[in-house]
Structures are given as C-alpha cells and as structure tokens.
Amino acid sequence: MSNAIANSNKAAQDAAKQTVQNMGAMASNAFVQGTQALSDKLNDFGLPVEALVDKRQKAIKWVSDNKFRVIGGIFISFIIIFYFVAIYNRIDRYLSRMEIYSSSPVSLISDSTIINASKDYILADFWIASSYKSYLPCTNYFDYASTDAITACLKSGARLIDLDIFNSGIFDECPEPVVCNGSEVGNWHYTTELSFDKVIKELSQTAFNPQILQNTKDPLFLSLNFKTWGNKATINKAAAILQKYFSDQQRLLSIANTEYTYQGRRSGVNGKNIAKEPIKNLFGKVIIICSGKILGTDMDEICNIYTVDPSVPENKRHEYEISTKMYKNNGTDIKEHDFQMKTLTSKQLLNYSFSEARTIKNANRGLGGTPSLNMIIPSQTTRKKENYNCWIPFYYGCTFVCMNYTEPTDFMKSYAERFRECSLLLKPYRLRFHQYCTKDPTVQDPRLSFQTKTKLISTGVYMDY
C-alpha cells in the first residue's frame, strides 16, 4: 500500500515538473517570437537591432572581464559628483541663501525721534541685531570657517559678531589665537581655523566702512568666547590684536572711556554699569563682550561686559565667574562691583518657570534699581545649524537675541525683517528702564508730632503728655 502511494506521489511530481517545463518552453518561445516580431518591425524602420544586440553582448562581456576597472571608474565618478555637490563652492552656495533677507539697515543716529528725544535712551532700552557663531557659513562642525560669513552677517544688519577663540595647535610651543569651533578640553578643533589677527583686521576694514555698510555709526559688539584651556598668553595676544586694529579714532570703548575698563567694576564708588550708558555715547565704538577665564589677563582690562558660557556645568561656574572683591587704588581698599551679563540657551529659557522668566524680565527693565543685560543663544544639538523662536526672548526684553544668520529658517526670516531698517531697535515703554526719583518728604508740623512733651503745671511741677 505504501509503495503504491509513493509511486503515485512520484508520478504527480513528475507531471508537475513536466508541466512547468512545458510552460517555460512556451513562454520562451513566445518571448523569442515577440522579440523577433519587434526586431522585424524596428528593422522596417531602419534600426540595426541585431547590431545593437551584438554590441550589448560585447559590452556585457567587457564588463565581466574588467570588473575592477568598472568598480574603480564608478568610485572615481562618485568622488567627482560628491566634490561638486558637497564641497565645490560650498561657502558661496550657503552664503547665497542669505540673499533672501531684504535688510538694508541704516544707523540709529539718523533717527531724529530717538537722538533728539528729551530722554537719553540707554543701552538696555534697545534690542541689538546679533549673530551667533558668525564665522561658520555652513554647519556647526566638520566644516569650514570663513571671514566671508562674518562680512555677510554684517551686511545683513548684525551688529554683534560672535567668535570662539582657541589655541592655534595642540603641539605649538607659542600658540596664536585662532577662530574655530571645537572643544576646549584637549584643544580639539571641529572646523577649519581662521587667524584671529586676520578676522579682526577684516572686521576693522568692514564694520565701519561706509562704502560697504550703511550703519557704520552703530556700535559694534564683539562677543569673544575664550576656550584656550588655561593658556593666558593666547588671551593676551588677542587683547594686543584688538588694540592694534581698533586703537585709531579710539574705537575701543575702554580706550575712549576708561571708566569701562574691567567691565566698570572698578569705577568709582558705585561702579559703572554699561547697561545705563546713553546709547549716543556708544556710537562708532567697539564694545568687547567676553566669556572664559580672562581674569588676570590683558583682556580683563579692555573687556566691557563679562558673561559665563551657559555650557559650563553648575559645579564649575565659580572657576569662570569674576566675583566681586577688594582691590587697591592708590593704597585704598575699594570693593569691586558685579555687572555680569547673564547668558542662556534658547532651551534653558524655554524651560524656565514663570517666576524665573519674570525675574529676567524685571532685571532687564531695571526694577531692582539698575538695568541689566541678557544674551540668548541657540541650543546647539546637531551638526546642522538651527534657529529658535526669537519672539520669546524679545517678549522678556533680552538685549542680545543671537541667531544663526546663515540658516534662513522662518524664525530667522522674521528676525531679519524685524531689523530690516535698523540694527538697534527701541524696546516698547513697558520693557525700558525708567528711573523714578522720589521727592524729599514734607517737613512735619511740630504740632502734629507724637513725641512726648513736658509742661509746667505749677511751681516745680511738670507733667508729660
């Protein structure tokens, strides 16, 4: 019985195989007949089909015999395509995206309603068009740094230029200051380097050149983030470079007004808070903003505003803060004052509670008695540049709302439109500093005093009432 079943199964399998073979033969014959019919039709039109088929067979054979040559050719072609798509003219291609901004700001000094106002508007009363990592035209790392990006930011209206400063090399015995993106610990450079001397020279020839910009009278803010891994010699060289290029016409505010040396913390009894300086006294000046360990360097003297980088962990902030202390002035001990600017990332500000955000808003308005300055920077999380909702820090009255100018997102477009006519915008009344002076109280009428009085009621007898 089992043999019969096995024979039956074998017969069925053989029949199935024969059927498949017959179908394959039929399909093959149909394909050959169809191809032949198509070839005949094409031959009727004068197309050499057989010659083309013959060449195709020869090409297939050549590829089969020269596999390594073909693979090498494909690889070289890929490299060429990658070069022209991703590398060739990369900086210009990225900067060309900024042409979408229709910015042509003029100097604030041309606004007579502000300049001739009865009140002297101060620095804290304005929003300043501010660029972030101004030297990076493309992406945040593994990419190029360029002075052309800085010039493009200036032409688009930015009056705050943000630069990261490192040592020129890991093994350099006498490193020079260079501008690039990277990590301070280990002196890792994630982009190409720019000579700090070259960058400042370019800035000095561009920022105040009326043939290039229209807003040359506006103050220029240089945000210098020193990441020199404890090398104070590099910071001193950077200070010397700034003095070399900006000493003419007393461009540096620290030279024009020595009260603002050491961030004004050593000026007079109460110090000198730059946030309260009338804006008209800052026209045509270069204001230096620094972060990093500049204490004890030449940069500390010419720095006008100091801040701590928000990336510094909370347990290490004390190493970077310039705390108030006593210093000697002509043999007299004088206490320094703290006018340190607060810098936050956009993510930190977004995560603030209502009470924390209100504290920032009140500080910007000077409700504590004196106004302060705040800077907001993008949260750098990916290689691609990103922008954030700039209207939130605007609402809180933050003076420096830094944006990636070379990344024309919708928020950046609205930001550029806001500063289209002027790089310094006057804040609305509710966000400005208002100093209220109370009058001397009226002298009290002695008859209304509650002080105990003594009255003689008889000889030698007095009564208190």
As beta bridge partners, residue 122 has 278
CA dihedral 143→144→145→146, nearest 10 degrees, is: -150
Give me Rg for the CA atoms of the chain: 37
Query: Do residues 374 and 400 make contact, with C-beta atoms less than 8 angstroms apart?
Result: yes
How far is CA 77 from each of CA 62, 81, 82, 87, 228, rounded to the nearest angstrom?
19, 6, 9, 15, 42
- What pLDDT shows up at residue 364? 86
Residue 173 is classified by DSSP as S
Q: Which two tokens stand for residue 230?
A: 């404890």
**37 vs 121: CA distance, rounded Å:** 90
Query: Do residues 134 and 161 make contact, with C-beta atoms less than 8 angstroms apart?
Result: yes
Q: Which two tokens stand for residue 150?
A: 């800085």
pTM strictly above 0.85 = no
CA geometry: angle 342, 346, 347, nearest 5 deg: 110
**126 vs 108: CA distance, rounded Å:** 11
Reading the chain (465 residues) residue by residue, the pLDDT tens digits are: 555 555 666 666 676 667 756 665 665 565 556 666 666 666 666 666 667 677 767 777 787 788 788 888 889 988 888 777 777 789 999 999 999 998 789 899 888 888 888 788 999 999 999 999 999 999 999 999 999 999 999 999 999 999 999 999 877 889 999 999 999 999 999 999 999 999 999 999 999 999 999 999 999 999 999 999 999 999 999 999 999 999 888 899 999 999 999 999 888 777 899 999 999 999 999 999 999 999 999 999 999 999 999 999 999 998 898 866 666 677 777 778 888 999 999 999 999 988 888 898 888 888 877 899 999 999 988 999 999 999 999 999 999 999 999 999 999 999 999 999 999 999 999 999 987 777 777 888 877 777 777 776 777 667 776
Give the type of residue at 402. Answer: C
Q: Which two tokens stand for residue 93?
A: 């291609």
CA dihedral 193→178→141→171, nearest 10 degrees, is: 80
**Which residue, among 396, 394, 390, has the nearest Cα to 411 in the 3D structure?**
390
- What pLDDT shows up at residue 109? 87
- What pLDDT shows up at residue 302? 96
- What pLDDT shows up at residue 446? 78
**241 vs 179: CA distance, rounded Å:** 13
**444 vs 221: CA distance, rounded Å:** 52
- What pLDDT shows up at residue 42? 61
Quickly count: other Cβ atoms within 10 Å of residue 92's Cβ: 11
Query: Do residues 108 and 422 make contact, with C-beta atoms less than 8 angstroms apart?
Result: yes
As beta bridge partners, residue 334 has 327
- What pLDDT shows up at residue 460? 67
Give the type of residue at 199. Answer: V
Q: Which two tokens stand for residue 239?
A: 């200070």
- What pLDDT shows up at residue 439? 76
